[in-house]
Copies of this chain bind each other. A is one copy, B any other.
Amino acid sequence: MQFIVVLRILGVLLMVFSLTFLPPWLVGWMMGDADLVPFETSFFIAFVLGGLLWLPLRTYRRELKLRDGLLIVVSFWVTLGLVGALPIFLQPTLNLSFTQSVFESVSGITTTGSTVLVGLDNLPRSLLFYRQQLQWLGGLGIIVLVVAFMPLLGVGGMQLYKTEISGPMKDNRLSGRISETAKALWIVYAGLTFLCAILYKLEGMSWFDAVGHAFSTISTGGFSTHDDSLGFFHSFSMELTAEIFMVLGATPMALHYLAMRHGSIRAYGKSSEFKFFLMLLGMLFLFIALAILLARPDSEWLWGMRWGLFTLVSMMTTTGFTLTDHTPWPAFLPVLVLATALIGGCAGSTAGGLKTVRMLLLTRQGVNELRKLVHPHAEFVVKLSGRAISPTVISAVWAFFAAYVFVFVVVFFAMMVTGLDAVSAMGAAIATLTSVGPGLGSVTGNFASASSATLWVGTVSMILGRLEIFTVLVLFLPMFWQR
């Protein structure tokens, strides 16, 4: 293990990350925030801390191994979660505990969007902008991680994607490959954000809200600058825009890249995963629409369709925007819609959950296992986008699924042990592990009343979910630390 290199890289990360405290500072300064000291102090602390790590080690260079990569990834997210909590913790008006601040920060950087804050509408602009930006950075980070890095590691069957976006990358060294891919993804991601912000602005948001919500839409983060989330605007066109860009955010970024490069949407049509994702969305919407029509054949059905579509897209893409709604839908509907977050969006996107490609693979392989009962000696091969999938990948995906279920059950019970009732614990487990954000019961809207223990369980769950579980679990293997 190259601990010294890991530390040097963390130092650089901290110094770069400290620069992200400046845009919120600028926004606050322009919009007249009373107190910008929290961001100044945070910048100073993070930059100096980073410098202190980097300076003595700056000449120490080694090519990294994959195993170092795993350690770096987990350290990145933990460090950013902790240091990102500084500007929140230091807000004099909020008086948040250390635990709450870290929860909020990790919720941002993991694009979860659960919050301990209430009264968002009256918070300092700098802080609101900072939360939105945190999600946007978290989204960018996860894409780079999942597209450039995870395929090399083979985490949860992600070696599937090894060749997907391999066009522009001749460089096989880890660092080279990551920086090339990151550049391509950055352009796509920034372009989509820009488009989304312009549309929100045209539909009537202020520039502040437009940019902020574009940040949390594309990143499928779900933070808002209003307690009422996107429901604050009461605008059907904004909801449609959000729906489209949430879906785009939950689509493999590689597909956007290919479409842009070839000036054609053929890439989307050739992706089994993307088509399966749209099909699932469509089927689930039909089911929900039917349930709404049967339950509310009165004048509320039209609102029901609008609410159903938005909430389904928001949850299944693991964004977590909500519309204010007090209609007494059948009790299973909100639970079902939230549970679609467990399926989640496509791999290689900002979305969380199990990921559509894994669902697709498991479904096909599951049917094959049934077929084997009928024809025990036949060979059945699973194909995705016309390519046969190797047993190694399938095995990794099965294991990932089992690990996901296992961690879900553990988080669920841990949440209950910290004092939540069964329904809230289920909601909290879904909210944090899938990166969707909102839960059920006492954590439906926010985690403001949650105990410290609940918040820590949630924090760990968010990081586990965001880093595809295995990346974190592997660090607990004694073998990982042996030469």
Contact = CB atoms under 8 A, between A and B. Distances in A.
A332 B411 CA distance: 12
Interface stretch (A125-133, A267-275, A364-372): A364-372
A86 interface: no
A154 B67 contact: no
- Copies of the protein in its oligomer: 2
B374 A416 contact: no
Nearest to A469: B370
Interface stretch (A39-47, A170-178, A297-305, A394-402): A394-402
A340 to B, nearest CB: 11
A375 B474 CA distance: 11
Interface stretch (A15-23, A214-222, A230-238, A419-427): A419-427
Contacts of A330: 417
Interface in A417-460: 417, 421-423, 425-426, 440
A403 interface: yes
A362 B477 contact: no
A386 interface: no
Contact of A470 (B291, B331, B369, B440): B369
Contact of A365 (B339, B399, B423): B399
A405 B342 CA distance: 12
Nearest to A421: B331
A194 interface: no
A153 interface: yes
A336 interface: yes
17 contacts: A66-B376, A67-B374, A331-B416, A332-B425, A335-B422, A336-B413, A362-B402, A365-B399, A366-B399, A369-B395, A369-B470, A370-B474, A371-B479, A373-B470, A398-B399, A422-B440, A426-B426
Q: Which 7 A-B pairs have the closest CB atoms?
A: A398-B398, A332-B416, A369-B399, A373-B474, A422-B423, A366-B399, A370-B474
Given A367-B477, A370-B474, A422-B426, 19 more contacts: A153-B373, A331-B416, A331-B422, A332-B413, A332-B416, A335-B413, A336-B416, A366-B402, A369-B399, A369-B470, A370-B473, A370-B477, A373-B474, A374-B474, A374-B480, A398-B398, A398-B399, A398-B402, A405-B405
Interface of A: 66-67, 70, 153-155, 291, 330-332, 335-336, 339, 362, 365-367, 369-376, 391, 394-396, 398-403, 405-406, 409, 413, 416-417, 421-423, 425-426, 440, 470, 473-474, 477, 479-480
